[in-house]
Structure 1
Amino acid sequence: MVKNESRIQEFILEAFPAVQHWGSLFFLVHLLAFLASMVGNMVIITITWADHRLQTPMYVLLSTFSFCECCFITTVIPKLLSIFLSGKQTIPFPACLTQAFFFLFLGAVIFFLMAVMSLDRYLAICKPLHYASIMNLRVCFLLIFLCSSLSFILITCLMLKVSQLLFCGPNVLSHFFCDLGSLIRLSCSDTSSVEMYFFFVTSFVILLSLIVTIIAYSNIVVTILRLPSAKERQKAFSTCSSHLIVLSLMYGSCVFIYLKPKQVNRLDSNKEAALVNTVVTPLLNPVIYTLRNKQVHQALRDMLSGMRLQK
């Protein structure tokens, strides 16, 4: 009964106390990054479904990835903006669990999609004659469904275990959102089984997608090096380089956060690494994926031309 009466109803997000006096400046910077990410990813989604030439597995996967990125940053950045602008750092317990669920669920979907996109590139480059028969839109949508379903099952089971924990002590989260690792550490229950399952889920998602990606790109590199023409090799490497940049940013920051050994003061560095995933990577994705893509450039020009003609 005592534990129930003292159960925490809300948490305080510590965010970045060292720069809190620069709140207005950081609000503006993160707002611009948030808007740029949303606009860039929405452009990819719009032109993919507006131009029939881009309704292929590669671009359907890319537009789904962009949609997940939009949802992913929306779970975190608006609250961070309100902290910088108004200094309101409290978040109710149900809202905290909801934010943690969507952050992990969408993050897992994004990682699985990255693996599927790597397989798509592998088939396109290493098995070009069989690509159309293996990777069609039906298979593409099935893979997207499987990525979403597996992520939902894993994260729902995890959050059900977390929701059963008691929180009756400190309520200050050393993060700028409801990071599940930080949240578990505040529980006054025995968290050993939850921590073990949390480590299993994050390790499974990150390592499975990483292994698939490494195998796919290892075969891609071997295939590219066997191409007789230097021009063909350059074109193939150019096609994959953008994907590899995004992969390096995402896997690097997430391995640093979730798979490194426990350290006493690791939470401070985790916040900076988490910013890469929630601010930097979603901002760079639309630029990286479309910068050298002539089909996207042409579709965008056609869409803008059509809008001018309508006026």
Structure 2
Amino acid sequence: MSAAIPAFAINTVTITSSVLSPDCVSYRVKGICYWLLCTLTGCTVRTSVKVEHYVPDAVVSSYSNTGENPWVEVRAMSMPNPTAEDGGDGTTNEEHENNLAKFKNADVIGHPGSTLFSQFISQWGYSCAGAGTAFMPYLLSTLDTVAWRYNVPESLYPEALIPGRREIGTRLGLNLWGNVYPRGGFLHHVDDYKAAAVVAQRAGDIVTRRGQVHVYQPLVANAYDGYWPAGALMESDASTGKWQELTPTLKNTCAVFPHNERRVQAQRGDYAWALWRPYACCQRRGQIFLGSVDFY
């Protein structure tokens, strides 16, 4: 069961407090690291515990009306501009017709709860740093107009043209939420929550990779001795990242898309999730890293 309370407005204080979630952290001891420590008297091998846990790297907002990011304090980052003015669903002004064309803006901004998260996770012991910087804009769809609003060039990618590739859910499982490609703001859907989730997944897919044909900053950390950062986000794979809903319902658990949890439709089509990603690390105990052994 997922505990949830209504979240009619989302602000930095609410987002910061949402990091107090043991379910999302999923802290565990993963293995042992070996280090070579050399002094004037000789060299010895020392060990340290290798841990793994999730870190709230970013807040991903997926919303209909341009300039109305549900995270109030960062709304000014993505106001309308001459190339990105309008938003919302398509309409033919025919009341009897159910028009399924939808458009969502998306913003990926560094999670503001890093300080509180560090204090919270210290109860388990050693912890790993994430890739995100608080309030850093990694993707603002209003600045990514060509790719986000015209699907250029991703509408021609094999992932966008071949059914069954890079999809959130499956047709056989009768739980298909949508396609990851083309990674833009348009899609057809009868369920606004699912449409927003698909767009959030697209935004997360972009920023967790380098060299994508979008206007963005990579949300990626570099590996080094004793530190294994999160890799590229993949849909429906919790080992690459998972989502904590912030609005319209504030939840204290994480899940991947698709899921069977209760879904609340936002009245104004604005949604936000925290993107949690897995990191592994161990404390440095010597000058030379000899390797590590995992328990599983």
Give the alignment's TM-score, normalised by structure 2.
0.25
> More relative contact order in 1 or in 2 (CA 8 Å, sep 6+)?
2
Higher-strand-fraction structure: 2
Higher helix share: 1
User: What's the TM-score, normalizing by structure 1?
Assistant: 0.24
